[in-house]
Amino acid sequence: MSAENLVTTLKKILLLHQNLLKLSERKTDILKKGDIDALNEQMKEEQKYILAIRQVENERIAIVEKLLGPRVQEKTLSKCIEASKEPVRSELVELHEELVNVTADLKAVNELNQQLTHQSLQYVNMSMDMLMPHEQTATYGNPAGTKEKKQARSMFDSKA
């Protein structure tokens, strides 16, 4: 019975990851456009999916604990596949492969989004530096760090 529960839980996790992947792909388009308001909304939506994944993941952990028992140290999906009978075993193998593929795709899209975000920040920093350049003196400064008040003399300041 708990092996079927594991299949159901893994299907939920797979569906949530697939939806998160779609959101991440939309996030890529938003980052390319530079729409900050849409990006904020997108991130709020992603947070909802992340929380849902955590909750279902906790359910999965409890099911795996019951399925494998306390004597098995490594509580992995591979161990669950080994412990299950054939009709459920093939379904678990398929779900495992799909989860691996979706998480790999999600990782690739997230890395792209991270690079786009980093490039956007570099562009903003460069623009800020161009608008407000740092003042640098072209002359030598006083090594003691104290500034003396000097009278500015013009080149044409001479007695006639």
pLDDT tens for the chain, 160 residues long, are: 578 899 999 999 999 999 999 999 999 999 888 888 999 999 999 999 999 999 999 999 999 888 888 777 788 888 888 888 888 889 999 999 999 999 999 999 999 999 988 888 888 788 877 787 666 666 766 666 655 555 555 555 555 5
Q: What is the pLDDT of residues 89-124, one digit of tens each?
A: 899 999 999 999 999 999 999 999 999 888 888 887
Residues 6+ away with beta carbon under 8 Å from 120: 31, 34
| pTM exceeds 0.85 | no
Per the structure block, which two tokens stand in for 67? 């399925």
Residue 150's alpha-carbon distances to 106, 142, 143, in angstroms, are 64, 12, 16
CA dist., res. 39 & res. 33, Å (int): 10
- Return d(Cα 62, Cα 66) in angstroms, integer: 6
Q: What tokens were used for 92? A: 């678990």
| pLDDT recorded at residue 83 | 82
Take residue 98 and report the two structure tokens written for it.
Answer: 């799909």
